[in-house]
A = this chain, B = another copy of it.
């Protein structure tokens, strides 16, 4: 049973609240009849917005941090860890940053979309949680693993998942997230997994992003049109890059970017798709960084075990047992890039 747990130290907050950003409005033709109930004739629907929950500490640093979750997740990603400790939302609040936690359009508290869908409650814990989130080669755990192996922690972690409540549409989702970045104002943008791909798109559409920290970005690495690399073959599926116009791509060459990956990513072809996916994503991240830097940008890939000697991280380094060290590493990056100014 999870419980209310005190913070390591109290935090004084000067602002807190939530709002919706972006989105669209659809309307059914005709004239609404007040005697009717759920007849859509003549009615509107407001959907496809992003949800933002913000907290600003007293004497906050200049740039708040915006946190975007990944595929099949919600803003919960950044709150309490699966084993009940402080997540990045609270850790960075105490480090003096404003924190803004997003639910992307058609997910979580932003689940009202303008297109319907079918939700299939299909069991997928082993594929999604054990394999894609890299706890181990099921039924085993990896030997070196920063994840609490108790039943309760696993139970909580499985429940972090949240289905799409409408078709996944990259334009809709990245427009909603870009609107949130703009509403929040100048910011530091932290993304995870598929949120990495959404994040490249959103950051290329907003003027307010001052730097990006991406944890384990997955699909939708962006490249200038005409410079998209060949797909990388994998037992998961071939990983493709996505081309965007140079005038949008350029935004990504004008801010510092760091990409972190956890441990236990195979060095060569792995027959298990949930694991092999990460081999080609890490490979693509290096091509992505190299392309950004060739265009005058500042992008680095940090593979934690190789570059920092930090072992055992899963697909969620910021929520792992060593997430305090992972936060310190990110804080160091913010200092180095002068994104920690007051």
Contacts and interface: CB of A to CB of B under 8 A. Distances in A.
A17 B274 CA distance: 30
A26 interface: yes
B34 A137 contact: yes
Contacts of A109: 74-76, 103, 108-109, 162
Given A43-B127, A87-B17, A125-B43, A112 B7 contact: no
Given A2-B21, A7-B14, A18-B76, A114 B121 contact: yes
Main secondary structure of the interface of A (DSSP, over half): loop
A7 B2 contact: no
Contact of A271 (B21, B35, B120): B35
A84 interface: yes
Interface residues of A, number: 98
Contact of A13 (B11, B53, B75): B11
A103 to B, nearest CB: 7
Contacts of A183: 1-3
Interface of A: 1-7, 10-21, 23, 25-28, 32, 34-40, 42-47, 49, 51, 53-54, 56, 58, 64, 74-76, 79-80, 84, 86-87, 90, 98, 103, 108-127, 131, 137-138, 155-156, 158-163, 165-166, 183-185, 235-236, 271-274
30 contacts: A3-B183, A4-B17, A5-B17, A10-B12, A10-B14, A17-B80, A18-B76, A27-B123, A32-B126, A32-B127, A32-B138, A34-B274, A35-B272, A35-B273, A36-B127, A40-B124, A43-B125, A43-B127, A44-B125, A45-B122, A46-B125, A46-B155, A49-B159, A76-B109, A108-B109, A111-B163, A116-B120, A116-B122, A121-B166, A165-B165
